[in-house]
Amino acid sequence: MSRRQVSSTRRFVDSGNFPFAGALHSKSRSSPILSIGLVVVGAILLIGYAYSGSAGKFRGEAVSRIEGDYSCTLEVQRAIPYLKKAYGDSMHKVLHVGPDTCSVVSKLLKEEETEAWGVEPYDIEDAEANCKSLVRKGIVRVADIKFPLPYRPKSFSLVIVSDALDYLSPKYLNKTLPELARVASDGLVIFAGYPGHQRAKVAELSKFGRPAKMRSSSWWIRFFVQTSLEENEAAIKKFEQAASKKSFQSACQVFHLNPYH
């Protein structure tokens, strides 16, 4: 657009019909600083445009990650350092329950003085060789969490669940949540999706059986009260302090509960 305007002006100057042509030519010859200034301004505008485009891209990625398909199981892996700060020695014997539990168990086993087991609620036919190896060793079990877990009371110091309870109706939650608390001796940590956030792709609904139901924190708290579960205030405080120091903010709701005594 600017080049067209210059060409138009040039035609006026060349034809002698532009009354200030001489003055413009004289001014352009005597003011090289003006040309340099225009180049600098143009460069700044281009840089600003490029930056805004890239910033928009990153914002879009953040939104798509949270509002599109995302995984609370992945959030568990990101939160492990802060869970260790919150629970200390209680992280020595951990059970993770949820889809893709093999990835969480594998990561936990790399931590010092940490033993880990997993319960995979869904089929693992397409799982990687490492996951199938964990199943063969009995470290990971495939089990329907709508039924009693195959463990004795207080078998684990800490139980972490993700991407599983959101797919259960209250009817089954009434059975599953107490079961998770039963096998924990020191604490139960729940990673749940936020209301309005998409979880499963349409193609995965056959695997999960039903769309995820994202519930508010107030809904969960009321449900905890109904099932006689109390929030672990000490763990909540330690977890939030550790997370804030590293500017960690989970894309999922995180609830810290005391086990049954």
Tens of pLDDT, residue by residue over 133-163, are 999 999 999 999 999 999 999 999 999 999 9
Q: What's the whole-number mean pLDDT along residues 30-54?
A: 59
The band of 212, judged by pLDDT with boundaries at 50, 70 and 90, is: confident
Q: What's the whole-number mean pLDDT along residues 227-240?
A: 96
For residue 253, the cross-strand partners are 192
**Can you give the pLDDT at residue 122?**
83
Q: Are residues 188 and 181 in contact, defined by beta-carbon separation less than 8 angstroms?
A: yes
Question: Judging by beta carbons within 10 Å of its beta carbon (0-12, 13-18, 19+), is residue 107 exposed, middle or buried?
Answer: middle
pLDDT at 12 > cutoff 80? no
pLDDT at 250 > cutoff 50? yes
The band of 26, judged by pLDDT with boundaries at 50, 70 and 90, is: very low
Q: Which pTM value belongs to this model? A: 0.71
Question: What secondary structure letter does DSSP report for 260?
Answer: P
H/E segment holding residue 158: strand 156-162
| H helices present in the chain, as ranges | 2-15, 21-30, 32-67, 72-87, 101-109, 129-136, 170-182, 205-208, 217-226, 233-245
**247 three-class SS:** coil
pLDDT at 32 > cutoff 90? no
Structure tokens at 122: 């869904």
pLDDT at 37 > cutoff 70? no
Structural class in CATH, domain 72-258? alpha beta
**Can you give the pLDDT at residue 253?**
96
What does residue 49 show for φ and ψ, rounded to 5 degrees?
Answer: -65, -45
The band of 64, judged by pLDDT with boundaries at 50, 70 and 90, is: very low
pLDDT at 198 > cutoff 70? no
How confident is the prediction for the chain on average, in pLDDT? 79
**Can you give the pLDDT at residue 209?**
57
**Can you give the pLDDT at residue 34?**
63
Q: What's the whole-number mean pLDDT along residues 169-177?
A: 93
Of residues 183 and 3, which shows the higher confidence score? 183
Q: What are the residue boundaries of the structural domains of the chain, listed by start?
A: 72-258
**Which amino acid is residue 3, in one-letter code?**
R
